[in-house]
Every structure is written in structure tokens, then in C-alpha cells.
């Protein structure tokens, strides 16, 4: 499919968390170009407004500043979406935070900060999506959780990030099971080395498993946006449970 020819009617509504930059921005722009109505959630209103302006989507896009670590704010996000567009067909559960600190040097506040965003915030959004998708008519929808290659193979100094991404896989599997009865399809996208602010350091050199520092291959984040769009556009009877998209030459499979 091409971004200038919407594949289906423009009545489907998506919420994208962490939509102001990086992967969330790429996914939101891909969905908007395909005709979706998209609610942009994130902490920084100015970045959300920039995505909305860049998309040229007019009334099909809504910027909704939200702190996903606050359950009340998440509930308000979904309520606002239903009020504006009538339903929620897709949640791209994307908001996340990374931190590179040796285990022994990590403070309790640093640990909790990553856990609150990457795990608690993702759960609050998933829970809110379930409540809306079960209650709406027609019932159901789709949830795509942003996992990570770290859910399978950790990097050095990534204990909080890796632990939360392993937990996201647990959320995905359990929610996929519970969603069956309500036509809620739940899947996960695991991304490796897309060019974003969060991952830019990979191209400059990061610690490897053997203790060396090496630059790593990267890929355009737009490929991630297209992957999310592919998953989002599947018919209700089909689901991608786990999807990995990565820079072809990055160290992941094999021995480095």
C-alpha cells in the first residue's frame, strides 16, 4: 500500500502513545497518511502539535498531552478519544524510556522511573483500551505493544529497560489470550536500531557483549511506521503476535 492511497475507509481511530517523537511519530504519520483518525498522546504538547501540523490531517488528528504513568490521565485520554471520534480501533502502546546504567550504580528512583513508564504506563493504557473495546459496538479492536529486541537479547547496562521489555512480552501474551473473547487482537512489535533520538547513540558506538565499544548499523524509522501500519490494517480474524523489524546488519542473531 502507498501512503497517498488510503487502504480502507477513514473512520478507524487509533491512539498512539509517545507520539511526539521517534517511533511514535513515525507510526502516527503512517496511520494518518493511510486515512486513520489518530489521537497523539505524549508528555510534550509542542511535539504533538508539530506531528499534527506535519501530517496535514486536519480534523482527523487530535493532540492529547498525557502522562501514561498517571492512571487518571490515561482514563481521560480514552474518554476524550471516544468523545471526539466515537470509538477506539487501535492502541499503539508505544511510550517508553531507556537508561544505560550498571546494575550496582542504578538508584531506586532511576529504576522506578523506567518501570513506571515502560511497564506500569503500558499496563494502564492496555487496561483502558480493553475497557473501551469491550464496551463499544461493534465490539473489539487491536492493541500493538512496543516491545524490543531487548525482550530476547539484552545489552550491557540495560537492566531496567530489559526487565520491563521482558514484562511487556508477558503483557502481550496474556492480553492476547484474554482478548479473544472480545475480538481484541493483541500483538507486539520488537524494534532494533531505528534512527531516533533514543537510539542515535548506537551509530556512534555502544558497549558490546564482549566488552568492546562499536558503532552499529541503523535503519530509517519510517520502516517501523510501515510495520505498525501493516499490523494495524490486518482484518480482525488475523493477528501478528510478534513482529521483529531491525537493521539488517545490527548485532542480534548469532554471536554478535
Which residues participate in catalysis according to the annotation?
161
SS3 content of the chain, % helix, strand, coil (to 5): 45, 20, 40
Exposed / middle / buried, residue 34 (Cβ in 10 Å: 0-12, 13-18, 19+): buried
Comparing CA positions, the residue from 52, 22, 53, 55 lying closest to residue 40 is 52
What nine digits make up the cell of 228? 505498525
With H, G, I as helix, E, B as strand and everything else as coil, classify residue 83: helix
Residue with cell 554478535: 256
With H, G, I as helix, E, B as strand and everything else as coil, classify residue 70: coil
- DSSP letter string, 162-181: HHHHHHHHHHHHHHHHHHGG
Q: How many Å apart are CA 47 and CA 45, to the nearest integer? A: 5
Q: How many Å apart are CA 84 and CA 101, to the nearest integer? A: 42
Amino acid at each position: 500500500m502507498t501512503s497517498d492511497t488510503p487502504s480502507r475507509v477513514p473512520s478507524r481511530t487509533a491512539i498512539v502513545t509517545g507520539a511526539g517523537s521517534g517511533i511514535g511519530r513515525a507510526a502516527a504519520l503512517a496511520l494518518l497518511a493511510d486515512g486513520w483518525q489518530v489521537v497523539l498522546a505524549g508528555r510534550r504538547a509542542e511535539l504533538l502539535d508539530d506531528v499534527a501540523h506535519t501530517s496535514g490531517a486536519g480534523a482527523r488528528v487530535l493532540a492529547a498531552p498525557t502522562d501514561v504513568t498517571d492512571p487518571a490521565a490515561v482514563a481521560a485520554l480514552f474518554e476524550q478519544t471516544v468523545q471526539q471520534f466515537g470509538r477506539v480501533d487501535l492502541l499503539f502502546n508505544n511510550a517508553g524510556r531507556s537508561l544505560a546504567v550498571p546494575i550496582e550504580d542504578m538508584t531506586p528512583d532511576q529504576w522506578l522511573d523506567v518501570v513506571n513508564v515502560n511497564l506500569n504506563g503500558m499496563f494502564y493504557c492496555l487496561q483502558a483500551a480493553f475497557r473501551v473495546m469491550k464496551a463499544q459496538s461493534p465490539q473489539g479492536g487491536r492493541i500493538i505493544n512496543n516491545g524490543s529486541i531487548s525482550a530476547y537479547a539484552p545489552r550491557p547496562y540495560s537492566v531496567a529497560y530489559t526487565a520491563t521489555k521482558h514484562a511487556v512480552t508477558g503483557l502481550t501474551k496474556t492480553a492476547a489470550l484474554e482478548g479473544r473473547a472480545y475480538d481484541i487482537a493483541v500483538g507486539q512489535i520488537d524494534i532494533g536500531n531505528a534512527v531516533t533520538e533514543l537510539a542515535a547513540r548506537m551509530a556512534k558506538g555502544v558497549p558490546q557483549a564482549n566488552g568492546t565499544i562499536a558503532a552499529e548499523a541503523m535503519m530509517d524509522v519510517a520502516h517501523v511506521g510501515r510495520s505498525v501500519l501493516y499490523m494495524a490494517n490486518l482484518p480482525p480474524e488475523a493477528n501478528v503476535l510478534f513482529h521483529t523489524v531491525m537493521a539488517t546488519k545490527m548485532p542480534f542473531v548469532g554471536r554478535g
